Structure 1
Amino acid sequence: MKKNIIIGTRSSKLALWQAEHIAACLKKQYPGLTVELKHVMTTGDKILDTPLAKIGGKGLFTKELETEMLAGDIDFAVHSLKDMPTQIPDGLCLAVITKRFDSGDALVSPKYKTLQALPQGAKVGTSSLRRKAQLLHVRPDLNICDLRGNVNTRLKKLETENFAAIVLAVAGLKRLGLADLITDIILPEICLPAVGQGALAIEARAGDAAVLELLAFLNDAESVQNSTAERAFLAAVEGGCQVPVGVYAETKENQLHVEAVIASVDGKRLLRDSITGAGVDADKLGFALAQRLLDAGGRQIMQELGLLL
């Protein structure tokens, strides 16, 4: 068994929490194992003055970490699964998907208690086209503005840039000990989450048997099954993490239920559908649901965004 491990991570407080959490799990499982964290700056971390959707490309928060892995400078990288592109570079693999913590989106507001309570034309901050499209579908009057930066930076901007509210992932706030800031949990009926939201992903070298064996105990079978369906859906609509697409899969009574949405960025067109089937067919279910939504008008929406030919 390997005696020393180097984990690659971004430098934000949330990314460090995630890497340190995995490090702690490894040390508990393997007493005597030495674990080191290596901080890596990604493109998404460097460019903070431009909406993510306008930067273009996939892997904005993963590419530099993948380069370090392929060079042998780190053993594996810890990501938020929602940041992981559906296509992984040759030589690498998605080694672990952890148990999903909380998939929802949270409204954070110093003054208003719910999404419905926000006044007409309220300024709401989010960096996500997925959130923007779905929120505008139910509240077309809102003034939704781009909000970049890590969780703490966004919370500061809530105060300094006159936002009535901002929208963040529930899981991130809870992991940072900031659950008390959550004003309202936005129901999935209003806003479906991003693919894999709430789960952590560990990316490693595909041929590194020693590391893959070391990590195997962290894999959560149900989360793997659910995220397989979600990622199959995203791959079929050719979306990255910055598209107006939401999808959520969960296991109910030994059946896999997948629900998804494709929306125009302005929220005026929103297509929603669901599918249920056997968990062993997770990838087929995700693909089939994607085809149904694309055929129902989603293809035109994605083409208008330049995401489908």
Structure 2
Amino acid sequence: MSRVLKIGSRKSALARLQTYLVLGALRKKFPDLIVELHFREASGDQDLQTPLWKMGTRGVFTQDLTQDLVDGKVDLVIHSWKDLDLEGHPGATVLGVLDRADQRDVLLWKKTSLSKHSPSELKIQTSSPRREYNLKKFLPKSLPSRYKDANLIFLPVRGNIQTRIRKWKESDSDGFVLAKAALDRLLSKNFLNSEELEYQEIRKFLMGSLAESVFQVLPLSLNPSAPAQGAVAAEVRSDDVWSKNIIETLSNSVVVSAVEEERKILRKYGGGCHQKIGVSILNRSYGRILYQKGLTDSGQTLEVEEQFFDFSARPAQSVGQCYPVPGEAIKQKRTPLSSQQGYVLTADGKKERTILPEELIHKDWLVTRGNAYPNLDPSLIHEGLVWTSGLKTWYQLAERDIWVHGSLDALGEEELPKEFLFNKPIDFVKCTHVGSTEIASGLERVLTYQTEPLEDHPDLSDKTHFFWMSASQFDKALALFPQIRDRFHSCGPGITSSHIRKVLGESANLSIFIHYESWLASLGLKEFKGTKIGNQTKKNST
């Protein structure tokens, strides 16, 4: 290839890093490709005082670079896809490239603010109306109860990631919200030129800032991101077939499809940085999930949580054929174990050993329900992370004044952070109940409570449609009523679904729903039509 490919981008550290990621991927595919990099400031980089949503034009971080492209000064421009104008630009074509980074936002919280009890106000820095609108609803339930009656005050902040964090640290604000993708990428060493002095200094600064903070990784179900957050786009001239053919080799069709749908949804409401609307699409093996929350310019409240998947089970003929319907689950007595009784079972389900509290406090905990939280001596301070299986458990722990770092958001153990989080090694154990160890899991388990049914198991012999809350619940029912094996089974994602599939075989009638309520809504029965989660009717579409 004799032609030189001229690539442009903003000159900020994060923008250059994304360009280096693209360059690295291109070099793997086209070792002989000659590339020139051109970095410049955009108009949005020059005014660091005006909140983005007050700036009069769209594309404040991209329009100058797009003009360079159209004018022929560069052949390709690399953008954060979320910064691109929803309406596009004449003469330019946008192509998604690379895999998408984590879509979620992160709340950083000063450790010095943890000592505040019953403060009258808490200050949080963010320039995003979307974040402010959704966090006003979420944080009163997710923050520890010591802050229960505090008034949340949101303050604008501008600049690159380092500048905004520095402003936050030097202010009297308690919290700061940013995109997890930006933090993850700047902490990474997995890109060309990562050992440049600037990137070394940024990593050192960020790690120091994280050491002075605690964090919450905000769940997408209640805090969906800006459309395209975490995704990288390449913009080319529409008539430049050569450049287009080269950059298309880096496209991920699954990412592109999700991002384009997110942007299409926002476009219906006008777009722009002033919007209080978050839209996130997740693609999982069991289907596609859409989260949409916010407030439109016309005052319409958006609270959408939809699951799209192929649902093959025939509708139930009557409520009497379904188990469990609301209020029908077996009542259980749950008794906490003391830390002396607690023990760890290894992931293979065969070896048991006692774990002392002094060891347990250094582990990261996945807490499966509120009463699974280890019952330790108050003098022992837990030094690890606290992750929850769902938001109900998160809120229960927050009411006990416990800081929660994140949640699986009811999507299963596959959502748990792997190996490292913000460059720190993680070591999760699963806090759960006695009797759960017969179910395969990739985690060691700390048994923190035991269960005892308070009533006899109902007769399931005539039931045809089931939703299983846990794998152990399924095992017990199947042992009592083996005739239900070939009927219609449903459950949430994660180890429950994999266990049921293993027991029943690949041909089993098994469907996965992200919520029990969405299973109810899928049954086709008049009694369950209009079943709601929050303010949004659940929908199941193919």
TM-score, normalised via structure 2 length: 0.48
Among residues 280, 302, 306, which one is paired with 1:271 in the alignment? 302
Match of 1:155 in 2: 165
Q: Number of aligned pairs?
A: 277
Alpha-carbon offset, residue 87 of structure 1: 1.0
Alpha-carbon offset, residue 139 of structure 1: 4.3
Match of 1:78 in 2: 78
Give per-residue Cα distances to partners, 1:249-304, cap 9 Å, x unaligned.
12234643222112279xx984311334479xxxxxxxxxxxxxxxx9xxxxxxxx
Distance 2:31 2:54 in 1: 45
When the two chains are superposed, the root-mean-square deviation of aligned CA atoms in Å is 2.6
SS in 1 for 2:249: helix
| Compared CA separation, residues 241 and 217, structure 1 to 2 (3 A) | farther
Identity of aligned residues (%): 30
Match of 2:179 in 1: 169
Among residues 283, 303, 321, which one is paired with 1:251 in the alignment? 283
Distance 2:13 2:38 in 1: 14
Distance 1:24 1:75 in 2: 17
Give per-residue Cα distances to partners, 1:12-50, cap 9 Å, x unaligned.
111111111111211222112222221222121111111
Distance 2:156 2:227 in 1: 20
Unaligned 5+ segments in structure 2 are: 141-150, 188-202, 311-534, 536-542
Distance 1:76 1:100 in 2: 19
Aligned-partner residue type, residue 227 of structure 2:
V
Structure with bigger gyration radius: 2
**Is residue 64 from structure 1 mapped to residue 64 from structure 2 by the alignment?**
yes
Give per-residue Cα distances to partners, 1:29-74, cap 9 Å, x unaligned.
2112222221222121111111111112211111000100000001
Aligned-partner residue type, residue 211 of structure 1:
S
- Aligned residues of 1:2 and 1:210 also touching (Cα < 8 A): no
Match of 2:17 in 1: 17
Aligned pairs (5 A) from 1:111-260? 111=111, 119-139=119-139, 141-177=151-187, 180=207, 181=210, 183-253=215-285, 255-260=287-292
Give per-residue Cα distances to partners, 1:104-154, cap 9 Å, x unaligned.
10112231799xx99551111111111111112234721110010000101
Match of 1:302 in 2: none
Aligned-partner residue type, residue 96 of structure 1:
G
Question: Which structure's residues are more often helix, by fraction?
Answer: 1
Distance 1:223 1:206 in 2: 21
Alpha-carbon offset, residue 172 of structure 1: 0.3
Distance 2:113 2:224 in 1: 20
- Aligned residues of 2:113 and 2:174 also touching (Cα < 8 A): no
Alpha-carbon offset, residue 190 of structure 1: 3.1
| Compared CA separation, residues 190 and 120, structure 1 to 2 (3 A) | farther
TM-score, normalised via structure 1 length: 0.82
Q: Which moved more, 1:143-152 or 1:255-264?
A: 255-264
Match of 1:110 in 2: 110
Aligned pairs (5 A) from 1:281-296? none
Aligned-partner residue type, residue 103 of structure 1:
Q
Unaligned 5+ segments in structure 1 are: 280-295, 297-309
Match of 2:355 in 1: none
- Aligned residues of 1:10 and 1:40 also touching (Cα < 8 A): yes
